[in-house]
Chains A and B, each alone.
Chain A
Amino acid sequence: NAGVMQNPRHLVRRRGQEARLRCSPMKGHSHVYWYRQLPEEGLKFMVYLQKENIIDESGMPKERFSAEFPKEGPSILRIQQVVRGDSAAYFCASLQGNHNSPLHFGNGTRLTVT
């Protein structure tokens, strides 16, 4: 998992607050993916971004969730007005550009909503 950096590792928010999760892809990687793992479940695709573009957000909840990958800086997954059901591990993965190579995942951010 070396290379894809996610922070914070742990984030505690009260219901109604905002959560911001950051992901810096591996050097040279221009594609970023966000996945969510709910307790006792597998990872679920949320969104796929390239620099300044959202390519596929079909896995994102319709409300409160947004993602960006600006020209400079990390990718951000933003959750507004968090609810207890948002508690999960959020994983970022990156890819250089060849879609036949595997995704490299970060160590995740564990979000707990109290």
Chain B
Amino acid sequence: DQQVKQNSPSLSVQEGRISILNCDYTNSMFDYFLWYKKYPAEGPTFLISISSIKDKNEDGRFTVFLNKSAKHLSLHIVPSQPGDSAVYFCAASGNGGATNKLIFGTGTLLAVQP
């Protein structure tokens, strides 16, 4: 049972344009969401998070949007840079903000073309 779904296995974007990565979840108990970025042969690196009491969180070029009614969140990267090329994982937690037992999606491979 995949509680966190990333339905696009890959995405290709031109440098300078906006990248939009999507994530859907099924468990209404999830109240904390995170995005991680992963390069090959490395561990995931935390990017940005959002609590369910918010619908938007912004950090530099990265913005995460949360639509609780649709059980959907998205990560916007603008402008996209070649160094952003990586696998992006969406993760969710239902422990009141606790990040243990994160449930991860299967990832989206982002390729930013120069």
Chain A interfacial positions (CB closer than 8 Å to B):
1, 4, 6, 31, 33, 35, 40-45, 48, 55-56, 58-59, 91, 93, 95, 99-108
Contacts and interface: CB of A to CB of B under 8 A. Distances in A.
B4 interface: yes
Interface in B75-114: 89, 91, 95, 97-107
Interface residues of B, number: 26
Contacts of B97: 99-100
Contacts of A107: 41-43
B106 A105 contact: no
Contacts of A43: 44, 89, 91, 102, 104
A4 B102 contact: no
Given A4-B43, A42-B4, A107-B43, A102 B89 contact: no
A84 B18 CA distance: 41
Contacts of B89: 42-43
A102 B100 contact: no
A102 B103 contact: no
B98 A102 contact: no
B104 A103 contact: no
B13 to A, nearest CB: 22
Interface centre among A31, A48, A105 (most CB of B within 10 A): A105
A104 B95 CA distance: 18
Contacts of B43: 1, 4, 6, 91, 93, 105-108
B34 interface: yes
